[in-house]
Structure 1
Amino acid sequence: MALASSPPPGTPVPPLITDWAARRGRDVAELVWRNELGGVTARLVADGTGDLFAKWSPVDLEPEAERMSWLSGRHPSPRVFDFEEGDGEWLLVTGALTGTSAVSDRWKAEPDRAAAAIGEGLARLHSLDPSISMFGAVDWVGDVDDIDLLVIAHGDACAPNTIVGDDGSFVGHVDLGSLGVADRWADLAIASWSLEWNFGPGHEQAFWDAYGIAPDPERIAQYRALWGDAPTS
């Protein structure tokens, strides 16, 4: 499965983003992220007001808009400001969280603190009652018979989707298009795996300590295999 990353220099800003920004008196300050499906996210600025983030995608963002709108009053995550559909393209505009991605240069220099924030965030998300969820099983997980603990799961719990505050604490979750109900090990397996992708080996213990559980190798292997078999589009 391809990894998301910062956009390379020269990446064009999608017209749907520039048009939305111009209509509301905002400028595109920078492109901050490109996901594995080719979608890009831009930071929009204007004098005297907070930043917004506009995510453009060639894949329908309505599921993410619905999930983020539902979650934002229950768990730290961005507020949805707008959603637009173009001709085979979609735009989701959200508020900003006060912090930076767990894989920013700041936190790559302190990977154990980042790993702990990721574990802290998932522990908070998983403390929500899954019976209140409006959404079904996480798509790539499907039906699994042997459930350890059913939770509201992020569904794409890779390190970049955790925002970390200046003090190293968990601030919120982003990229919520896969949110649903699943065994907690669906998130834990992928989050712990992504630590090595982003920071190199040797940082999982801080993650497990912050979440408050010991790793279960069999469940981890099970969900990593399901993730590896999942389609990328």
Structure 2
Amino acid sequence: MTLRDLWRSGLLPSEWVPLEDGESDTSVYRQGDLIAKCCGPAGVEELAAERDRVAWLAGTDVPGAAVVDWLESPDGACLLTTAVPGIPGSAVPERSRGAAMVTLGRTIRQLHTLPDCPFERPLAEVIATAEDVVRRGAVNPDFLTDEWRQVPPAELLARVLAERAYVEFVEDLAVCHGDACLPNVFFDPETLEVTGLIDLGRLGVADRYSDLALATIQLHDEWSVDPGPFLTAYGLPDPDQRRLDFFRLLDPLTWG
């Protein structure tokens, strides 16, 4: 379902500009200070879950979007939110990345200290998702490193399962973004303060290392920087490398 379909059915006005699609089966559009994320019937439940998470985060001190409206028809649904100002982390210029790492670390720490989150993302469910993706042969090779592409996905999953008992034993729960990648964090281009977190469909209580693993590998791979300043600002200058490696491998197996 496109935004045009919704507009013709009277749900939305015209003159929306399509944005580049993310990894989910949704279409995203912008008009002024509004963002519209639309899906077909199969995606309504997932988009509604994201709506609830956006609304919850908007009631905290962590910056993000606000829910403006929820539009639903037999053809699908559309989530209207405010647009987060600033630029995505993927667009932060090289000269500003040091300062951005510090504010990113502080913001992720702020998120991880929020109380009373009603959403959960148990490790057992995440692993079950990975098992399903691998079983269906749906692992996206674009999410894998060059080394991992040479390994059968079932073997990658076996590596995850071999570390599961250790990770569960040392589990450290917090409110996590769930997809803490640079495009999902917006910054003020002048002050480098974080202006908001977006794409919250996976937000929930989980092991804090699930966020730290993605953030640090993104800083290394996309910005070509040592993530040390980020980890220091977060308050964890000497992280558990074993847990970082676990979640770095688990995450790309969950996106099929």
Equivalent position amino acid for 1:175 in 2: D
Say which structure, 1 or 2, has more relative contact order (CA 8 Å, 6+ apart). Answer: 2
* Residue 71 of structure 2 corresponds to residue 99 of structure 1: no
* Residue 14 of structure 2 corresponds to residue 37 of structure 1: no
Structure-2 change in CA distance of 1:16 and 1:76 (3 Å):
farther
Q: Which of 110, 126, 134 is 2:118 aligned to?
A: 134
- Aligned match of 1:27: 15
Q: Unpaired runs of 5+ in structure 1?
A: 1-12, 46-50
- Aligned match of 2:52: 66
- Aligned match of 1:181: 205
Structure-2 change in CA distance of 1:211 and 1:115 (3 Å):
same
Structure-2 change in CA distance of 1:197 and 1:83 (3 Å):
farther
Superposed displacement of residue 88, structure 1? 5.2
Structure-2 change in CA distance of 1:23 and 1:56 (3 Å):
closer
Report if aligned partners of 1:153, 1:182 keep a CA contact under 8 Å in 2: yes
Partner Cα separation in structure 2 for residue 175 and residue 112 of structure 1: 24
Q: Give CA deviations for 1:125-144 in whole Å, capped at 9, x if unaligned.
A: 01112xx1211225426795
Bigger radius of gyration, 1 or 2?
2
Q: Unpaired runs of 5+ in structure 2?
A: 129-163
- Aligned match of 1:229: 253
Across the aligned residues of Structure 1 and Structure 2, the Cα RMSD in angstroms comes to 2.7
Report if aligned partners of 1:135, 1:181 keep a CA contact under 8 Å in 2: yes
- Aligned match of 1:10: none
Q: Secondary structure at the residue paired with 1:207?
A: helix
For normalisation by structure 2, the TM-score amounts to 0.71
- Aligned match of 2:35: 53
- Spell out the pairing of 1:197-216 with structure 2 (5 A cutoff): 197-199=221-223, 201-214=224-237, 215-216=239-240
Partner Cα separation in structure 1 for residue 107 and residue 5 of structure 2: 32
Q: Give CA deviations for 1:16-67 in whole Å, capped at 9, x if unaligned.
A: 46558x8665632x3333111342322212xxxxx11111234330110011
Q: Secondary structure at the residue paired with 2:99?
A: helix
Indicate the percent of aligned positions where both proteins have the same amino acid: 28
